[in-house]
Chain A
Amino acid sequence: MKKLCFYIIGLLIITSCEDVIDVDVPNGEPRLVIDASFEIYLDETPIDALGGVRLTLSAPFFDDSVPTVSDATVFITNLSDNSIINFVESLGEPGFFVPEDPNVIPEFDIDYELTVIYNEETYKATTQLIPTVSIDNIEQGDGTLFEGDETEIIVFFTDDGNREDFYLFDFDFNLYLPSEDRFYQGESFNFSYFYEDMVGGEEVTIKILGIDERYFNYSNILIEQSEQEGGNPFQTPPAQIRGNIINTTNPDNYALGYFNLSEANRFQFTIEE
Chain B
Amino acid sequence: MKKNILCSLLAICTLQFAIYGQEKFTINGTISEKSSNETLIGVNVLFPEIGKGVVTNEYGFYSITLPEGIYKLQVSYLGFKDIIQEINLNEDKKLNFQLVEASEMLDEVVITENVEKVNIKTPQMSLNKLTAGTIKQIPVVLGEADVIKSIVLLPGVTSGGEGASGFNVRGGAADQNLILLDEATIFNSSHLFGFFSVFNPDAIKDIKLYKGGIPARYGGRVSSVLDIYQKEGNSKEYHINGGLGLVASRLLAEGPIVKNKGAFLVGGRASYAHLFLPVVDDGNDNIAYFYDLNTKLNYKINENNNIFLSGYFGRDVFAISESFRNTYGNTVLNLRWNHLFSDKLFSNLSLIYSDYFYGLELDFVGFEWDSGIRNFNLKYDLKHYLSDNFQLNYGINNIYYRFNPGEIKPNSDDSGIIRDKLIDKYANEFGVYVDAEHKISNNLSLQYGIRLSNFIRLGQDEINIYENNNPLLFNEELQIYESADPIGTESVSRSAQLANFTNLEPRVALAYAFNDNTSIKASYNRMAQYLHLLSNTSSPTPLDVWTPSGRFVKPQMLNQYAIGYFKSIKDDAYSIETEIFYKDIENRIDYIDGAELIANDAIEREILNGEARAYGLELLIRKNEGKFKGWLAYTLSKSEQRTPGRTPTETGINNGEWYNTPYDKTHDISFNGSYELNDKWKFNANFLFQTGQPTNYPTGQFEFQGLVVPVFDGLRNDQRLPSYHRLDISATLTPRKNKNRKWQGEWVFSVYNLYNRRNAASINFSQNTETRVNEAVRTSIFGIVPAVTYNFKF
Residues of chain A having any CB pair with chain B under 8 Å: 1-2, 4-5, 7-23, 25-28, 30-31, 33, 35, 37, 54, 56-64, 66, 143-149, 152, 174, 176, 182-185, 187-192, 194, 197, 214, 217-218, 220-228, 230-244, 246, 251, 254, 256-258
Chain B contacts for A254, CB-based, 8 A: 479
* A14 vs B482: C-alpha distance when bound (angstroms): 36
* A253 vs B714: C-alpha distance when bound (angstroms): 15
Are B699 and A59 interface neighbours, CB within 8 A?
no
* A263 vs B680: C-alpha distance when bound (angstroms): 77
Q: Which positions 693-748 of chain B face chain A at CB distance < 8 Å? A: 695-714, 716-717, 719
Chain B contacts for A66, CB-based, 8 A: 701-703
A16, A21, A148, A183: the one contacting B776 at CB < 8 Å is: A21
Chain A contacts for B321, CB-based, 8 A: 143-145, 148
* A171 vs B131: C-alpha distance when bound (angstroms): 56
Are B594 and A217 interface neighbours, CB within 8 A?
yes
Given the interface contacts A28-B714, A226-B707, A226-B708, does A61 sit within 8 Å of B698 by beta carbon?
yes
Q: Tell me the smallest distance from the CB of A195 to a CB of chain B, in Å.
A: 11
Are B704 and A19 interface neighbours, CB within 8 A?
no
B596, B703, B716, B765: the one contacting A237 at CB < 8 Å is: B716
* A224 vs B537: C-alpha distance when bound (angstroms): 13
Are A238 and B705 interface neighbours, CB within 8 A?
no
B398 within 8 A of A: no
Are A225 and B705 interface neighbours, CB within 8 A?
no
* A78 vs B420: C-alpha distance when bound (angstroms): 40
B281: nearest residue on chain A (CB-CB)?
A148
B479: nearest residue on chain A (CB-CB)?
A242
Given the interface contacts A31-B702, A148-B281, does A17 sit within 8 Å of B537 by beta carbon?
no
Residues of chain B having any CB pair with chain A under 8 Å: 163-164, 193, 276-278, 280-281, 284, 286, 288, 318, 320-324, 326, 360, 362-367, 369, 408, 416-418, 420, 477-480, 482, 536-539, 541-543, 591, 593-594, 596, 598-599, 662, 695-714, 716-717, 719, 758, 760-767, 769, 773-781, 783
* A13 vs B366: C-alpha distance when bound (angstroms): 24
Are B323 and A144 interface neighbours, CB within 8 A?
yes
Chain B contacts for A148, CB-based, 8 A: 280-281, 284, 321
* A60 vs B277: C-alpha distance when bound (angstroms): 38
* A176 vs B706: C-alpha distance when bound (angstroms): 10
What are the 5 tightest A-B residue pairs by CB atom distance, in nearest-first order?
A189-B416, A148-B280, A28-B699, A239-B593, A192-B364
A21: nearest residue on chain B (CB-CB)?
B778
Are B362 and A4 interface neighbours, CB within 8 A?
yes
Given the interface contacts A61-B710, A143-B322, A226-B766, does A56 sit within 8 Å of B416 by beta carbon?
no
Chain A contacts for B709, CB-based, 8 A: 222, 225-226, 241
* A231 vs B769: C-alpha distance when bound (angstroms): 13
Chain B contacts for A61, CB-based, 8 A: 697-701, 710-711, 765, 774
Q: Tell me the smallest distance from the CB of A98 to a CB of chain B, in Å.
A: 16
> 13 A-B residue contacts at CB 8 Å?
A16-B780, A28-B714, A61-B774, A148-B321, A222-B707, A222-B709, A226-B709, A230-B764, A235-B538, A241-B593, A242-B479, A242-B593, A246-B478
* A234 vs B166: C-alpha distance when bound (angstroms): 13
Q: Tell me the smallest distance from the CB of A115 to a CB of chain B, in Å.
A: 15
* A21 vs B593: C-alpha distance when bound (angstroms): 28
Q: Tell me the smallest distance from the CB of A145 to a CB of chain B, in Å.
A: 6
Given the interface contacts A11-B277, A12-B163, A240-B713, does A27 sit within 8 Å of B779 by beta carbon?
no
* A10 vs B541: C-alpha distance when bound (angstroms): 13
Are B776 and A22 interface neighbours, CB within 8 A?
yes
Chain B contacts for A174, CB-based, 8 A: 705-707
Not counting A145-B320, A149-B280, A220-B596, a sample of 4 additional A-B residue pairs whose C-beta atoms are within 8 angstroms of each other reads: A15-B163, A20-B776, A61-B699, A220-B594
Chain B contacts for A221, CB-based, 8 A: 593-594
Chain B contacts for A235, CB-based, 8 A: 537-538, 695, 762, 764
Are A226 and B767 interface neighbours, CB within 8 A?
yes
Chain B contacts for A16, CB-based, 8 A: 163, 761, 779-781
* A238 vs B773: C-alpha distance when bound (angstroms): 21
Q: Tell me the smallest distance from the CB of A173 to a CB of chain B, in Å.
A: 8
* A228 vs B367: C-alpha distance when bound (angstroms): 23
Q: Tell me the smallest distance from the CB of A30 to a CB of chain B, in Å.
A: 7
Are B764 and A231 interface neighbours, CB within 8 A?
yes
Q: Tell me the smallest distance from the CB of A235 to a CB of chain B, in Å.
A: 5
Given the interface contacts A232-B764, A234-B537, does A258 sit within 8 Å of B704 by beta carbon?
yes
Q: Tell me the smallest distance from the CB of B54 to a CB of chain A, in Å.
A: 47
Are A183 and B593 interface neighbours, CB within 8 A?
no
A182: nearest residue on chain B (CB-CB)?
B420
Given the interface contacts A8-B543, A191-B365, A240-B713, does A222 sit within 8 Å of B704 by beta carbon?
yes
B362, B480, B702: the one contacting A242 at CB < 8 Å is: B480
Q: Tell me the smallest distance from the CB of A223 to a CB of chain B, in Å.
A: 7
A255: nearest residue on chain B (CB-CB)?
B702
Are B699 and A26 interface neighbours, CB within 8 A?
yes
B770: nearest residue on chain A (CB-CB)?
A197
A28: nearest residue on chain B (CB-CB)?
B699
Chain A contacts for B360, CB-based, 8 A: 4
Given the interface contacts A187-B418, A240-B593, does A231 sit within 8 Å of B777 by beta carbon?
yes
* A19 vs B722: C-alpha distance when bound (angstroms): 14
* A11 vs B700: C-alpha distance when bound (angstroms): 30
B416: nearest residue on chain A (CB-CB)?
A189
Q: Tell me the smallest distance from the CB of B489 to a CB of chain A, in Å.
A: 16
Chain B contacts for A58, CB-based, 8 A: 700-702, 711
B709: nearest residue on chain A (CB-CB)?
A226
Q: Tell me the smallest distance from the CB of A86 to a CB of chain B, in Å.
A: 23
Given the interface contacts A63-B701, A145-B323, A237-B717, does A226 sit within 8 Å of B710 by beta carbon?
yes
